[in-house]
Amino acid sequence: MSPIVRAAKGEEDRKTLERILEESFGTDGMPWATWMERIGHENLRVVVEGGAIRGGLGFYRFGQHWGGERVPMIGLAGVGVAPEARGTGLARRFLVETLAEAKRDEIPLAALYASSVAVYRSVGFEQAGTTIRWSVPLATLPRGDHALACEPFAPAESEPLRPLYEARARSWNGHLARHEPMWQRIAKPYKGTTRGYRFGAASAPEGYVIYTHAPGEDLHFAIVVRDLVLATPAAARRCTALLTDLRSLGNELRWLGCASDPLLSLLPEQTAKVVEHGRWMLRIVDPERALAARGYAADGEVRFEVRDPILGDVGIHLSVRAGRAEITREPTGRARLSLDVRALAALYTGFAHPATLRIAGLLEGPLDEAHLLARLFAGTEPWMCDWF
Kindly report the backbone phi and psi dihedral angles of residue 32, in degrees, each rounded to the nearest multiple of 5, phi listed first.
-60, -30
Per-residue model confidence (pLDDT) at position 216: 86
For 323-357, the three-class secondary structure string (H helix, E strand, C coil) is CEEEEEEECCCCCCCEEEHHHHHHHHCCCCCHHHH
pTM for this one? 0.95
> Under a CB-based contact definition with an 8 Å cutoff, are residues 69 and 106 in contact?
no
Sign of CA dihedral 279, 280, 286, 290: negative
pLDDT above 90: residue 322: yes
Domains in the chain, CATH or no CATH each: 4-124 (3.40.630.30), 133-277 (3.40.630.30), 286-377 (3.30.1050.10)
Q: 239: pLDDT confidence band, cut at 50, 70 and 90?
A: very high
Query: What is the mean predicted confidence (pLDDT) over 341-346?
Result: 98
Query: What is the mean predicted confidence (pLDDT) over 180-205?
Result: 96
CA angle 355, 68, 323 (to 5 degrees): 70
Per-residue model confidence (pLDDT) at position 371: 97
Using the 8-state DSSP alphabet, how is residue 321 labeled?
Answer: E
C-alpha Rg value of the chain to the nearest Å: 22
Q: Which helix (H) or strand (E) holds 52?
A: strand 52-66
Distance CA 218, CA 251 (A): 11
Query: What is the mean predicted confidence (pLDDT) over 284-302?
Result: 97
CA proximity to 268, closest of 141, 380, 119: 141
pLDDT above 90: residue 36: yes
> Under a CB-based contact definition with an 8 Å cutoff, are residues 43 and 58 in contact?
yes
Of all residues in the chain, the percent with pLDDT exceeding 90 is 96
